[in-house]
Chains A and B, each alone.
Chain A
Amino acid sequence: MDALDLARWQFGITTVYHFIFVPLTIGLAPLVAIMQTAWHRTGDERWLRLTKFFGKLLLINFAIGVATGIVQEFQFGMNWSEYSRFVGDVFGAPLAMEALAAFFVESTFLGLWIFGWDKLPKRIHLATIWAVAIATNLSAYFILAANSWMQHPVGAIFNEETGRAEMVDIGAVLSNVTLLAAFPHTIAAAFLTAGTFVAGIGAWWMVRSARRGDEATAQVYRRAVVLGTVTMLVSGVGVAASGDWQAKLMFDQQPMKMAAAEALCEGETGAAFSILTIGDLSNDCTGVRHVLTVPGLTSYLATGDFSAYLPGVEELQERSEVLYGEGVDYVPNLAVTYWSFRLMIGLGLGSAALAAAVLWLLRLRQVVDRTWFARLGLLAIPTPFLASSFGWIFTEMGRQPWVVVPNPNPSGVDGVWMLTATGVSTSVSAGTVLASMIGFTLLYALLAVVWFRLMVRYAAEGVAETEPDPSPEARRAAARDHDDDSSTPLSFAY
């Protein structure tokens, strides 16, 4: 493998790994904020117990998300310096904005939330977790603005003199239609992930408590199950709706990715959606055989019309050769795009359908003490994580061989495109990239084991008993003591 392949593997490994933790943080921070708000509004201790329980899981997860996120910002310059030179004028701005507008807020207010229990007034303490929740979602907006620009560059021109892409319209970059579709899709997927997490753990504990005859605790977890499944259902609809919009944009902006998603070698009118394909799906288009197809569905996904014509990869290859030059294979890896597309859709829709079934079953009240329901809850948890991973693998592998995909709109940006192969650092040797890849991978593997064990252990601990909320007079007295006497223990510390 040369430095290019290694740099691509490194980006793939570090990014997919980072994005295991990110969707959970993005979705769980608002859900914990909702739990704390419910406690604040109703005074119901059960919500406080859930807040602290899921809050601890959020913190364990947040740490590894932050730690692996630092690599993301640095590796553009380390492994992709030619890419950075070419796009920095445009691409750097959303990254800097993300740090200034979002990272500062989430890190600072998370510190306030962790250490501010009993120290800050309740209302302000509640505001800190909301600040974290909003900032994590805002950071997704900026990073998706950067990514969407790679998928569909707007608001920029190619400057022949400097040989780089230059920004001419920040408004266009931040309102890129690709971004407007990708943001709700990613956020909805994150809420689906967190909703499944909360509902799954809640279901397991609800059944366990009910079977022990501890009806009071089962009622605590029932709230988590309902909050989680409602979140799943709503976000499942959001994922599907935004995904449908994305497919139509993709057909306009990256027809090759659409064709690769279906492994459609030759153009077809009323292209079917295949559930399963046999054959080796190699890029030379021999031996691909679709079985189990839904007629016209791919055409419908791409255009909204079941009988529309979809160009195949061979035709698109020829079209690209005319536009961007010969000697380049413009077809992404068909096996990876085809299967990741299916797995993303199947796993995502599966989670949402499950949520609908669970809500219906809960109404019947027959599942609250069934062990199969507890097992189902735990089994459901990984599903949306996998769907997110496959979604990113699909969208990033599907844009190959481009790192910046040409904008096909003739009135749009001109000349702003880059092949992945030309974006790699020229001054970094393959051995160096290999060394860092091995280093990151080994460390990440170790951290994944610790993360998983911590999450399982803290989930298995369940909600803690809480002390009754002190009367307002007692709180004021405690606050006075706090000012006078510095020996009051920290209630929530490292």
Chain B
Amino acid sequence: MELATVWFVLIAVLWTGYLLLEGFDFGVGMLLPVLGRKDRERRVLINSIGPVWDGNEVWLLTAGGATFAAFPEWYASMFSGFYLALFLILLALIVRVVAFEWRGKIDDDRWRSWADRALIVGSWVPAVLWGVAFGNLVRGVHLDADHQYVGTFWDLLNPFALLGGATTALIFLTHGAVFLALKTDGDVRRRAGDLAQRLAVVTLVVAGTFAVWAQVAYSVPWTWAATAVAALALVALVVTTRARREGRAFVASAVAIVAAVVLIFGSMYPDVMPAIDPANSLTVQNASSTDYTLTIMTWVAVVLTPVVLLYQGWTYWVFRKRLTVEQIPAPTGLTFDRV
């Protein structure tokens, strides 16, 4: 396989890591008002991802940096073309990061409810918009002969891409609910299990529709395999959540996400950013860096990625226990005279 294709696959791997891991973080944040009825319960939710969410988010930064290094034209056209969408995602990610870290720093109900709003909005916005962005990448966008994006922001909000946004939002919601059922105990676990069971059915319908639409309208025959795996995983998700097999349900939602990434990237290949007019598409070939740069980056990725997986895996092992409200101590934040 030539290096540019290797890097296309590696970037798909980085996105898989991001969507798989940050996916349940988003889900937990999105479900904060639903599953966390009292403050202690909300703190169970937040602490269930507390030690790991920041490390999960780095998968996005790595995917971004790797795209810049391996496919500068793709990075340039996509980031300038999807400008407003990325701007909204950035705002959301910013408030989300500080809300995680600062929520518990002030012992005040109004402060906490502001932080909760930031977490909820900061999780919903990227969860939807990543799906819209990927939907457009699958469908193709208006690029001119210089690979400049010449469409508008509203062109990105077409029905197919919006369905993509609904798909990612639902998958992350279910993934998050399943994660919480696996990582917590007591009332939160029970409610998360109930919710996951209902969400799984809706996700099967919406995500299934999106996958089949993408497959039929925009993809190539071999990705039928990915579409089939995604569909089977979504069916398995319905079955396992109904049976409250939390571990298996988590595997099922994870497999669905991996299959979705394979479908998305598989349908794009050999383009990295398909244009409505195929002559203007950015391809693995015309968007990539030199073989020299790709070779260097391959060595870096091959050496470092397993190490990252090792210590991130260890973190999950250290914090493998289920969390309960009993483990949440009284608020440690300071009080402010006026906040």
Contacts and interface: CB of A to CB of B under 8 A. Distances in A.
A406 interface: no
B321 A486 contact: yes
B103 interface: yes
A457 interface: yes
A409 interface: no
Contacts of A104: 55, 58, 62, 308, 311-312
B324 interface: yes
Contact of B51 (A115, A167, A439, A487): A115
Interface stretch (A62-70, A318-326, A465-473): A62-70
Interface stretch (B188-196, B246-254, B286-294): B286-294
Contacts of B58: 99, 103-104, 107-108
A276 interface: no
Interface in B283-337: 289-290, 292-293, 296-297, 300-301, 304-305, 308, 311-312, 315, 318-319, 321-322, 324, 326-329, 332, 334, 336
A115 B319 contact: yes
Interface string A89-108: 11111011111110111011
Interface stretch (A79-87, A185-193, A327-335): A79-87
Contacts of A101: 300, 304
B17 to A, nearest CB: 10
B84 interface: yes
Contact of B97 (A66, A82, A432, A494): A66
Given A78-B83, A487-B324, A454 B105 contact: yes
A493 B329 contact: yes
Contacts of A184: none
B75 A112 contact: no
B93 interface: yes
Contacts, number: 255
Nearest to A111: B51
Q: Which 8 A/B pairs are nearest by Cβ-Cβ distance?
A: A88-B72, A77-B79, A92-B69, A63-B101, A92-B68, A96-B65, A81-B76, A108-B55
Interface in B24-45: 43
User: Which of A59, A78, A101, A439 has the largest count of B CB atoms less than 10 A from its CB?
Assistant: A78
A494 B50 contact: yes
Interface in A469-494: 486-494
A96 B66 contact: yes
B327 A489 contact: yes
B84 A432 contact: yes
Given A93-B297, A432-B83, A70 B319 contact: no
Contacts of A432: 83-84
Interface in A198-229: none
Given A92-B70, A100-B301, A450-B102, A67 B93 contact: yes
A54 B150 CA distance: 50
A175 interface: no
Interface in B48-105: 50-55, 57-58, 60-62, 64-73, 75-81, 83-84, 86-87, 90-91, 93-95, 97-98, 100-105
A76 B46 contact: no
A428 interface: yes
A65 to B, nearest CB: 10
A170 interface: yes
A78 to B, nearest CB: 5
Q: Please classify how large the interface on chain A is, using the bins under 10, 10 to 19, 20 to 34, 35 or more.
A: 35 or more
B106 interface: yes
16 contacts: A63-B97, A88-B69, A92-B72, A95-B68, A95-B69, A96-B69, A96-B300, A104-B58, A104-B312, A114-B50, A114-B51, A115-B51, A166-B290, A427-B149, A457-B336, A494-B46
A391 interface: no
Nearest to A105: B311
A95 B76 CA distance: 15
A84 B315 contact: no
Given A70-B90, A82-B76, A84-B68, 18 more contacts: A73-B68, A78-B86, A84-B75, A87-B72, A88-B289, A92-B75, A99-B58, A99-B62, A100-B65, A103-B62, A104-B55, A111-B315, A116-B51, A167-B293, A450-B98, A458-B334, A486-B321, A489-B326
Contact of B329 (A77, A426, A447, A490): A490
Nearest to B81: A427
B209 interface: no
A488 B327 contact: yes
A84 B43 CA distance: 41
Contact of A120 (B43, B318, B321): B318
Interface string A110-126: 11101110011000000
Contacts of A98: 65
B290 A89 contact: yes
Interface of A: 59-60, 62-64, 66-68, 70-71, 73-74, 76-79, 81-82, 84-85, 87-93, 95-101, 103-105, 107-112, 114-116, 119-120, 164, 166-168, 170, 425-428, 432, 435-436, 439-440, 443, 447, 450, 453-454, 457-458, 461, 486-494
User: Which of A85, A99, A443 has the largest count of B CB atoms less than 10 A from its CB?
Assistant: A99
A369 B124 CA distance: 53
Interface of B: 43, 46-47, 50-55, 57-58, 60-62, 64-73, 75-81, 83-84, 86-87, 90-91, 93-95, 97-98, 100-106, 148-150, 185, 289-290, 292-293, 296-297, 300-301, 304-305, 308, 311-312, 315, 318-319, 321-322, 324, 326-329, 332, 334, 336
Contact of A168 (B51, B57, B292, B311): B292
A104 B78 CA distance: 24
A96 B329 contact: no
A334 B324 CA distance: 61
The secondary structure that dominates the B interface is helix
Contacts of B318: 112, 116, 119-120
B332 to A, nearest CB: 8
B100 A426 contact: no
A108 B314 CA distance: 10
Nearest to B93: A70
A109 B57 CA distance: 14
A4 to B, nearest CB: 14
Nearest to B66: A96
Contacts of B148: 426-427
A456 to B, nearest CB: 10
Contact of B94 (A67, A119, A488): A67
B229 to A, nearest CB: 28
Nearest to A490: B327
Nearest to A488: B327
A267 to B, nearest CB: 40
B68 A77 contact: yes
A493 B65 CA distance: 31
Nearest to B84: A432
Nearest to B87: A436
Contacts of A436: 83-84, 87
Contacts of B86: 74, 78
B293 A89 contact: yes
A88 B65 contact: no
Contacts of A62: 101
A208 to B, nearest CB: 17
Contacts of B71: 88
A93 B296 contact: yes
Nearest to B97: A67
A84 B72 contact: yes
B105 A92 contact: no
A181 B58 CA distance: 28
